[in-house]
Amino acid sequence: MKNVKLKLTVLGVLSVLSAPTFATGLVSLPTAGFAVSANSDFSGSLAGTTAWALCNDTGNFGSDPADYTPPTTGAHNVCAVFPSGGNNPGSPVTGFTAVTPNPADVTITANSQTLATMRQRIYRNSGATECVFEKRIVMATTGSFDYNPQLTGSQRLEVNDFTLGGFSATPTVIAGYYHSANTDSPIFRIGRSFTSVQMQANAATVGTNGPGTIPAAGFYKRPLNSPAPAASTEINGVGQTPNQTGANSPGSIVPTASQQTSAIRTNWVDFVVDNTGGVDEDGTTSKDSPFMYVQAGCGSGAITTAFTNTANTVRIRQTGQETQPFVTILASGLTRSGANSNF
């Protein structure tokens, strides 16, 4: 298993709940997770507890060649909110107002090149007890660093997970997303998890526009909490499947049960997406992430004292959806004062 971690420069409630059946709006992610029954993800999938809530149910996590269907107020809208304001939407939750001045956008670099630009906002309630932390990441469309060097040409990073940290002080966080007019990916699932879990498509299942309409055998839509990988595991899965067809190609290796698990980690929220600054192996360019929201505890005070830029609380991950190697890139992000990036 090839797992590359790139250190980068940055500029500038308590009981297990049943598997969720949410409607429009941010969704609760309790520390104890959700109970899932046997065979709920696929025939033979195990019963247990999961950190994950399913959100947009179209697009097969970015692999379906027919693409996904954006959320509307009437369909495909689990975890989704619909604030006004376009690309400056404001708070997704009534009663929360922006903590000003608004932070400047952050340029994220890796391998001496611009990888992405991150917008951050914080909205706080009148009692100064809760905040909504907003992040939106736009991937750069230029750069020569190759994130999958076995293929011809220079491959841009394919982002499958944005994982945000600093929330351990809140027993039940509430999370979701806003899909604006120029957003290029929904959120497919959200988890109270540090570890991202690899997803691959079944290449033998062919829809109207080509293969890849359902997950490959053994891949969980809602990964279970145990047997948990090591706490420091960035990505759990079968590893890189470097061949485009045949043996050791995407979807050809059935993962073990332990390769599809992620422990509940209360400090983290993982957003599963399909974003990239270049044409990926799905055949799409999808640089604009949705607006990602986590509602959690915070405190009073000015933005410079109540909040801090905490190292390594933003993780940008390529999880090998096709032939790519595992890659994790670390960045700093705004959190409540006193937060950390512990696993």
pTM, two decimals, is 0.94
How is residue 35 written in tokens?
A: 């109970």
Q: Rounded to the nearest 5°, which phi and psi values hold at 260?
A: -125, 40
Please report the pLDDT score of residue 20 as a whole number.
Answer: 44
Q: How far apart are CA 79 and CA 55, in angstroms?
A: 5
Report pLDDT for 24: 78
Question: Would residue 258 be called left, alpha or beta, if left means φ above 0 and alpha means ψ between -120 and 50 degrees?
Answer: alpha
pLDDT tens per residue, the chain (343 residues)? 334 444 443 333 333 444 444 557 999 999 999 999 999 999 999 999 999 999 999 999 999 888 899 999 999 999 999 998 899 999 999 999 999 999 999 999 999 999 999 999 999 999 999 999 999 999 999 999 999 998 988 899 999 999 999 999 999 999 999 999 999 999 999 999 999 999 999 988 766 656 688 999 999 999 999 999 999 999 999 999 999 889 999 999 999 999 999 999 999 999 999 999 998 887 778 999 999 999 999 999 999 999 999 999 999 999 999 999 999 999 999 999 999 999 9
What confidence score (pLDDT) does residue 193 get? Answer: 98
Q: Whole-angstrom Cα distance, residue 175 to residue 36?
A: 20
b/e per residue 145-181 (b: at least 16 CB within 10 A): eebbeeeeeebbbbbbbbbbbbbbebebbbbbbbbbe
Distance, CA of 54 to CA of 37 (rounded, Å):
15
pLDDT at 206: 62
Beta bridge partners of residue 107, listed in sequence order:
117
